[in-house]
Chains A and B, each alone.
Chain A
Amino acid sequence: MKAAIRHLVRNRRRSLLTLLAVLCPVFALVVMFGFASANLSDMFDTVTRVDTGHLQIRHVDTRAAGSATALMQDPSPAIEALAGIDGIEWHTVRLDLPALASAGDRSRTVLIQGVVPEEIDPISSTRSLIVAGTYLTSDSPGVVIGKELADLLRVGVGDDLVLLGAHPETGVGVLRVPVVGIVDAPIAEMGRSVVQAPLALTRQLARSATAATAVVVRVAGVTGPWDSDRIDAVAAKLRAVLPADYVVLDWRDLVPQVDVFLRILNPALLIVAAIFFGLGALVVLNTVYLSVMERTRELGLILSLGASRGRVMRSILSEAGILAGVGAVGGALGGVGLVWIVEALGGIPLPAEYSAFAKAVGINSVLHLRVDAPQVLLAAAAMAVVAVLAAWVPALRASNLEPVEAMRYVE
């Protein structure tokens, strides 16, 4: 051990290089993972909070309703089922109705989200996104629309919209309602096509006093897709108690883009990690190999004096192990430190030209980093192990030197 450290100190440059070969990949991976998981969490949260919830209970689509969601004439069995299940943060009834929104000579197809305004806050953050006017209340008729839609239809707060609701199961209904508020939706497509209205008003359009399309559920304790176990558990319980003509959709059905992103992201991160590990391993292999070459005569002497091959291997591996350990811990601490500093400073704001893109895909215009302890530990441990395995190659060579030849070796 003492000899190992002295060897490392004797050739500081090479030791530093070996150390960096372990430290840099770990550091980069911690930051990269941190970046990916923060943005994934952000995207997941945005979509589930503003729009879909974690789970939705819907009615089985018996009439091939096309693009419209199947209606349930009465959502009360779903609500009763929810009452008996733990782990639910909040739920609310929603009626989504395709409609044509017109103002003057301009019109656009939209999706009316009929919501219970008083219930929606824990699930949806729409209220906080209001940029003009006010949010909905149950007793006053009026709708909230996205900024983008307001621009398309050239309407502002106080202007009337004509809504032509059409559902294959209910036929057509027409209403004239004022715009009471305008929201800056986190996703541009949502801002163009979503109109929020009180549930009662939407039911009028659907010509049914009890109709709903979904009971939207938010599961307690979910911070990102990695908590999907909790969601799945609640979904399973619901499926077990609901009547057969109800279905439970989870976030994978509701937010397929997050699921797709996850499916691409994890392999992509793994490939990047493998490349980093491979590069780190190559550098370690190289530096340890050089150190073995340089010490050929010393190794020959040690073998001549009767050191076992195992001892020679252990001495080379312990040197590599010390550097790998220090490098891995250093890289992890460095990465976590950077994440911590970035978060303490409030994240990295995206340049203006990217914020439209960020909005389009549903991520914040401030990029955040997130430390995932198991990921950090895994990255650090895996790199340290890979480094020691890489050192195995030169260590094996060292232990198989012929003592007499090795002692005669000249650099």
Chain B
Amino acid sequence: MSNSPLIRTIDLRKAYETEAVTTPALCGVDLDLHEKEFTAIAGPSGSGKSTLLHLLGGLDRPTSGEILLEGRPLSGLSKDQLARLRMTSIGFVFQAYNLIPVLTVLENTAFVLELQGVARAERIERARRILGELGIEKYADQFPNRISGGEQQRVAVARAVVSEPSIVLADEPTANLDSAASLELIDLMRRLNEGKGATFLFATHDARLLDRVSRVVTLVDGRISTDEVRDSA
């Protein structure tokens, strides 16, 4: 893999300062992620997975080190520029509470497109299409509280990919799901990765899901302990 990486981190460090204590969460992470990769970040709770995803997604700033997204450093960006970057280039799937309760499934799916200023007719059409591809079109007009947790997470994945961002960052998207629903969600992400070439980076501490991925980066105490490429799935 010699082509230039989609994301490169250089000696990335993050320490949380709370009153007297400083908690080191990331202690020098050097990581390259390439287009169309389907990568899992594994590691025990507290190892820094969420912190890494937040930094990569421009939701938080590192204490030191640099992140290059498509060759552009994030360190120089203002708060508003980071918000713009998240809107245009990053898809997010969080562990829970992914959907806006007052919007329908279809409106939630189209929300980022709306932020991007895509015309109404087009964003509805694109949102419907992706819901169809993910087999959840029938929920289009439901409000989030009327569908199951697994379905909500699928809607969140639909929203994350509908705007075709550079990368989808998913922070333990299956943490609140039973194992069947978890595997279904990962398979669905994998299909989007293979079918549409969407790049995924997701955090998990569920070892069973790791069979489905092409690369596993394991964090321990804020450092990369292993980084293995698999040809499975």
Contact = CB atoms under 8 A, between A and B. Distances in A.
Q: How large is the interface on A (under 10, 10 to 19, 20 to 34, 35 or more residues)?
A: 10 to 19
B100 A302 contact: yes
A305 B88 CA distance: 9
Nearest to A4: B102
A306 B100 contact: no
Contacts of A298: 97, 100-101
Interface residues of B, number: 26
A207 interface: no
- The SS class assigned to the A binding surface is helix
Interface string B101-131: 1110001000110010000000000000000
B202 interface: no
B158 to A, nearest CB: 13
Contact of B83 (A3, A7, A10, A303): A303
A307 B54 CA distance: 16
A95 to B, nearest CB: 79
Nearest to A307: B115
B111 to A, nearest CB: 7
A297 B100 CA distance: 9
A404 B82 CA distance: 13
Interface string A293-322: 000011001111111110100000000000
Contact of A308 (B54, B80, B112): B80
B103 A311 contact: no
Interface in A1-43: 3, 6-7, 10
B92 A3 contact: no
Nearest to A8: B102
A315 B87 CA distance: 17
B102 A6 contact: yes
Contacts of B88: 306
A305 B111 contact: yes
Nearest to A299: B100
B84 A306 contact: yes
B80 A306 contact: no
4 closest pairs, A vs B, by CB?
A306-B87, A306-B86, A6-B102, A404-B59
